[in-house]
Structure 1
Amino acid sequence: MATTLVNVRLDEQTKKDMSAVCNELGLSMSAAFNIFAKAVVRERRIPFEVTADPFYSPANMRHLARSVAQLDAGLGQPHDLIGE
């Protein structure tokens, strides 16, 4: 089967880190991306869980906005974990 070229943009550190892991596994990065692509096609899904950071969820952002508003209004409470 003929092959085709696909370009992937990664930040420099991720590329270095991935290259090091692939070398440890005895793979080229091209082989690793091929394994990933074939798993996507075979399973018809991303072959690992993709989640968003819950810190940035709409509910948490509303909670943080309320907390900031309370602090701005002078309604903050002392906290045992924060030393003075």
Structure 2
Amino acid sequence: MTTVNVRIEEKTKKAASKALRNIGLDLSAGIKIFLHQVVTEKGLPFKPTKRSPKEIRARWDAQVAEALRSGRGYDNVEELIRDLEKGAK
């Protein structure tokens, strides 16, 4: 394991921590998942866009709802990361 330090606005950190906490993750786990997806996708795991935050949130909510309806559940973050790593190979 290694450590990554990132400078980010306090407001953004708090908002991200809250959003991740709402889905049972801490900030560290959220960042790990993001980085694993960068490896899996060989780039950003999303397409940068100029859409409004409201539009982005509506799309995200729809994707999460669909994933919850049809996706696999995980008992912990480690299981999720293992699945993400399998997809990267």
Task: Give me the TM-score of the superposition, normalised by structure 1.
Answer: 0.56
Indicate the residue corresponding to 1:44 in structure 2.
42
Task: Give the unaligned 5+ runs of structure 2.
Answer: 52-89
More helix by share: 2
Identity %: 43
Indicate the residue corresponding to 2:5 in structure 1.
7
Any runs of at least 4 consecutive aligned residues in structure 1 with deviations exceeding 4 A, and if so which? none
- Mapped to 1, the partners of 2:8 and 2:31 lie a distance apart of 13
Matches within 5 A, 1:55-66: none
Indicate the residue corresponding to 2:25 in structure 1.
27
Matches within 5 A, 1:69-84: none
- Mapped to 2, the partners of 1:35 and 1:23 lie a distance apart of 14
Task: Give me the TM-score of the superposition, normalised by structure 2.
Answer: 0.53
Larger radius of gyration: 1
Q: CA RMSD in A?
A: 1.5
Offset of residue 52 of structure 1: 6.1
Indicate the residue corresponding to 1:64 in structure 2.
none
Higher relative contact order (CA 8 A, sep 6+): 2
Q: Alignment length, in residue pairs?
A: 51
Letter in 1 for 2:8: L
